[in-house]
Structure 1
């Protein structure tokens, strides 16, 4: 007798739908991963990132920072749009009398400006030489070489410049918006204090291993007994907080420089630091308590001298000047002085998006 085999029933519609959904999901995920690798989604992902940052709470002015601005009032008082060597010396002397922890000068002084050059250098050397081998309480700046400026901008010719000079370079994305901050570059060679330095050509005098803001933060922490070390893996350690370079591919970024110690910039808000006109400082009308035990950031804010960068707030009509020390005025790239400064002191984990320490992306050991 012939056996009749019943035809196989088709799978239930629900199982077929699940299988199709799984295949579609895998295809979409694979396509997104492929597009991210090619960098085609970078603009869209950064746009979404920007939107998230704009809706976060405004953290307000940072109590550890004050920005002294060479503004239009200062220009009118000095009858000059440039701070001369004599005026810079008077500024430093007045600021030091207010007992800040650190003064960071984001004003290039590679050549003499007006009268007072010798007196300015003598004063700086008096501040630097007794602290040989330690980070200085006054941090000066220079500019690293670049494609457009292969020589860079020299630092002031002070004695014992190691640990008292920070570079002023800024990391910009393709759309010219500041979202990242670099605080050191590698590879490195020996220097007297840290054991790291950039390796430019012999004609380049700007050999600062650290950014102006990062070095200013280290100077601030030095007064708390917190110092910088380097692990066997090459990462920086500051007071139990570890800093590592960003990976080549991260978030919306597809081709970051893995040889650069950089991290995402944590925007504090539109006005995250107290701003004092240099005119008030020179006239003696500034409140001394505003400066005591703080990081003082000195830089230009006038339209013709200030260094302006696009930030996440520029769509609301605010263009941030580049103040010194990465202080984060309106999201300026000078933020790490603040970000690094408190994390090791507070012993808080350094989340990339939360709190004073967020932009350096460190981790608590």
Structure 2
């Protein structure tokens, strides 16, 4: 019965309040009209109660009806609809970004981000397992002055014979001669030394009939089992970012070597440790417990590359200075500490910047004066193999396609969450920039740990989602506000 009395009291109150009476007067009139129910419902007039701050002027019925929607700031959209819209929008943006990525439009910016992360890694220092004997422009000038038979070669037979003889005294584990010698030696002593130096690896270059590259023959004196090809795989911009470990030579190739120069030297170094070169059933190279998975035509940021042979991503040793270096002239004229050579891999190569320098663009520099000599690129490759096998350093690998798609989608959802906050434009731009920085930091951390994950597509989906949802929120709120204003005018 009390509920019925309350409804009657509310009816009386609304009739008076809507009729223009003040709030207090409407309550008073409702209580007076309930006096007729006192005989059946004692204290019925006590039911209408008002609690009001005496200092506050009570509103009128017309004032309550004229409240405008703009007086309620940041009117939220229904959460369920917002969630559905954000989810569908993030999926659409992810599909669009992944589609653009698959056709190769993001390959260049992804490669640039890759180079930036490669250069930004903390330095790891010199590799103590390597020593590089360099032949610079001064060494060439000295050789030509002392040996007129040098002609166009970079290392005379006399100097080569002296280098090998001195190296053998200090017992290096492997010697790599990164100099093309596709002609027979004339010095009988050098011929014998080349033939009997079992830890010496020579180089040759494979042919490529598609671009009319004939290649280079190996030194005739070095046994076929001690040869490695010197071919590099470079990207469309000429930069060496991949490491070719092995390949099948063309039938007409002048170079018979199946394994790379770097792999041959690394295998020779690891052999006394009982680590042999073998292949998995999937055709991947395996050294000890470490498997070197071959790249596919679509790997990470790469789209439709030539993935023939055994290729991996080249993980440079965090700096240009890969190992201790000594000039040829200094090596031949100065006494050496036996510990500087014993059980090391010694590389011999040209670093001269003459008319036809053997230099290559790398993530550390593309202009000619910043390019890296080929012998040092080989040193980085050797160090990568040994660091993975001996030091447990992770190889650079990529996630599966679906894992990358989920990763990109996740960052588009993060962009949707930022747009939910309804920040002002300057604050939204700042939040987006900070979040993009966090994204780069996460990608860089994963890169150091051995995973190349998509940064550019993720950042693109993040920014696109923030922009799209911000526009959608603005238009939706404007439409809702317009509809409410029209409703108030109709009343």
After TM superposition, the score normalised by the length of structure 1 is 0.80
Instruction: Decide whether the 8 Å contact of 1:217 with 1:341 is kept in 2.
Output: yes
Q: Do the aligned partners of residues 46 and 342 (structure 1) sit closer, same or farther apart at CA in structure 2, a change above 3 Å counting?
A: closer
Q: Do the aligned partners of residues 306 and 274 (structure 1) sit closer, same or farther apart at CA in structure 2, a change above 3 Å counting?
A: farther
Cα distance in 2 between the residues matched to 1:224 and 1:108? 30
Which segment is superposed worse, 68-77 or 241-250? 68-77
Aligned-residue CA RMSD (Å): 2.4
Instruction: Decide whether the 8 Å contact of 1:171 with 1:181 is kept in 2.
Output: yes
State the shift of 1:236 in Å.
1.8
- Structure showing greater relative contact order (alpha-carbon pairs closer than 8 Å, 6 or more residues apart): 1
Aligned partner of residue 157 in structure 1, secondary structure: coil
Cα distance in 2 between the residues matched to 1:77 and 1:150? 32
Cα distance in 2 between the residues matched to 1:351 and 1:50? 13
Equivalent residue for 1:124? 194
1:282 aligns with 2:352: no
Equivalent residue for 2:438? none
Equivalent residue for 1:69? 134
Which segment is superposed worse, 82-91 or 308-317? 308-317
Instruction: Decide whether the 8 Å contact of 2:205 with 2:254 is kept in 1.
Output: no
Of residues 154, 159, 172, the one that matches 1:87 is 159
1:318 aligns with 2:370: yes
Equivalent residue for 2:64? none
State the shift of 1:125 in Å.
1.4
Equivalent residue for 1:217? 266
Aligned partner of residue 30 in structure 1, secondary structure: helix
Cα distance in 1 between the residues matched to 2:266 and 2:373? 20
State the shift of 1:255 in Å.
1.3
After TM superposition, the score normalised by the length of structure 2 is 0.60
Aligned partner of residue 370 in structure 2, secondary structure: coil
1:262 aligns with 2:311: yes
Aligned residues: 316
1:343 aligns with 2:415: no
Cα distance in 2 between the residues matched to 1:270 and 1:346? 20
State the shift of 1:98 in Å.
1.9
Instruction: Decide whether the 8 Å contact of 1:239 with 1:345 is kept in 2.
Output: no
Instruction: Decide whether the 8 Å contact of 2:202 with 2:227 is kept in 1.
Output: yes
1:158 aligns with 2:221: yes
State the shift of 1:106 in Å.
0.6
State the shift of 1:234 in Å.
1.8
Instruction: Decide whether the 8 Å contact of 2:246 with 2:258 is kept in 1.
Output: yes
State the shift of 1:206 in Å.
0.5
**1:85-133 alpha-carbon deviations (Å, 9 max, x no partner):** 23212211112222211110110000247x52x43222121224xxxxx
* Greater C-alpha Rg: 2
Aligned partner of residue 197 in structure 2, secondary structure: helix
Cα distance in 2 between the residues matched to 1:44 and 1:159? 44
Equivalent residue for 2:80? 15
Equivalent residue for 2:22? none
Equivalent residue for 2:479? none
Equivalent residue for 1:245? 294
**1:283-326 alpha-carbon deviations (Å, 9 max, x no partner):** 13344322221111110000025411111222696321111672
Of residues 104, 108, 118, the one that matches 1:53 is 118
Cα distance in 1 between the residues matched to 2:115 and 2:282? 32
Cα distance in 1 between the residues matched to 2:268 and 2:304? 32
**1:121-154 alpha-carbon deviations (Å, 9 max, x no partner):** 22121224xxxxxxxx110000000244443100
Equivalent residue for 1:291? 341
**Unaligned 5+ runs, structure 2:** 1-75, 398-446, 452-491
Q: Do the aligned partners of residues 266 and 349 (structure 1) sit closer, same or farther apart at CA in structure 2, a change above 3 Å counting?
A: closer
Structure whose residues are more often helix by fraction: 2
Aligned partner of residue 323 in structure 1, secondary structure: helix
State the shift of 1:159 in Å.
5.8
Instruction: Decide whether the 8 Å contact of 2:206 with 2:249 is kept in 1.
Output: no
Equivalent residue for 1:235? 284
State the shift of 1:83 in Å.
0.9
Cα distance in 2 between the residues matched to 1:21 and 1:225? 57
**Unaligned 5+ runs, structure 1:** 1-10, 129-136, 186-197, 329-334, 360-365
Q: Runs of 4+ in structure 1 displaced over 6 angstroms?
A: none
Equivalent residue for 2:323? 273
State the shift of 1:343 in Å.
2.9
